[in-house]
Amino acid sequence: MNPTPDSIAEAAGEIRRRIASAGGDPEQVSIVAVTKNFPAGVAAAAYDAGLRILGENYAGELIDKAGALADRDPAWHYLGAIQTNKVARLAPVTDCFEGVSRLKEAAAIARQRPGAGVMIQVDFTGRPERGGVAPSEVAELVGAVQQLGLDVRGLMTVAPEEPSAARAAFRKVSEIARDLGLKERSMGMTDDLEIAIEEGATMVRIGRALFGSRT
């Protein structure tokens, strides 16, 4: 059975309690509801439950769901790897590209949607499929992307699974963001939310804790 607006609202309340217990302000930490692999009806239910930022990992899913939810108009965050040949279709409906890790990707976004919101992905996993740029290269990439006229809202990361490594990664992202004067730190998911909040997350990306296991 798919989750309903009531069940999602209840789950979102629990997420906010977890944020508060970790020392965060639930009014200041944004929840990105990740609807990957769920039907458009679940995305609509999330919006109806009060979650206004929806995240997708696959271009086709985001484009299709944006069309299905055009009457609701959530803020769509694209969380997946950015393929430049798909940017033209994504750009009109994507509020923020969270996974920018190459100047080539940013240039494609700037051509299709000048001034678009983006986040730079920082890599701590060493896994090529995760994407991201090394911490030492973030400042240079941020400056280059800003020169393209894009709105660099902050940094995002997918942390290593080991808790102490995750904490170190989140702490480093917050440090870099502060040094560069960037507002947003998109970090933390269902299993490492508390650590991310303790280390300064302003945005958490939540799927399973809101919607249950994906098929």
For the cut 90, the answer to whether the pLDDT of residue 207 exceeds it is yes
Given this model, what pLDDT does residue 60 score? 96
Per-residue pLDDT tens over the stretch 100-118: 999 999 999 999 999 999 9
Confidence band, pLDDT 50/70/90 cuts, at residue 46: very high
| Strand partners of residue 29 | none
What is the pLDDT, as a whole number, of residue 2? Answer: 82
CA 65 to chain centroid: 17
Per-residue pLDDT tens digits for 58-103: 999 999 999 999 999 999 999 999 999 999 999 999 999 999 999 9
- DSSP per-residue string spanning the chain: ----HHHHHHHHHHHHHHHHHTT--TTTSEEEEE-TTS-HHHHHHHHHTT--EEEESSHHHHHHHHHHTTTT-PEEEE-S---GGGHHHHTTT-SEEEEE-SHHHHHHHHHHSTT-EEEEEEP-S--GGG--B-GGGHHHHHHHHHHTT-EEEEEEE---SSHHHHHHHHHHHHHHHHHHT--EEE---TTTHHHHHHTT-SEEEESHHHH----
Residue-level pLDDT at 128: 64
Confidence band, pLDDT 50/70/90 cuts, at residue 161: confident
- pLDDT(36) > 90: yes
**Residues forming beta bridges with residue 151, ordered by sequence position:** 117
Indicate whether 131 pLDDT > 90: no
Mean per-residue pLDDT, 155-184: 95
Query: Do the Cβ atoms of 204 and 19 come closer than 8 Å?
Result: yes
Q: In whole numbers, what is the pLDDT of the chain averaged over residues?
A: 95
Tell me what the mean pLDDT of segment 189-193 comes to: 95
Q: Extract the tokens encoding 201.
A: 């997350």
pLDDT at 22 over 70: yes
5-211 folds as TIM Barrel (3.20.20)
Mean pLDDT of 160-168: 92
pLDDT at 38: 94
pTM recorded for the entire structure:
0.95
Nearest to 60 by CA among 42, 83, 44, 41: 83
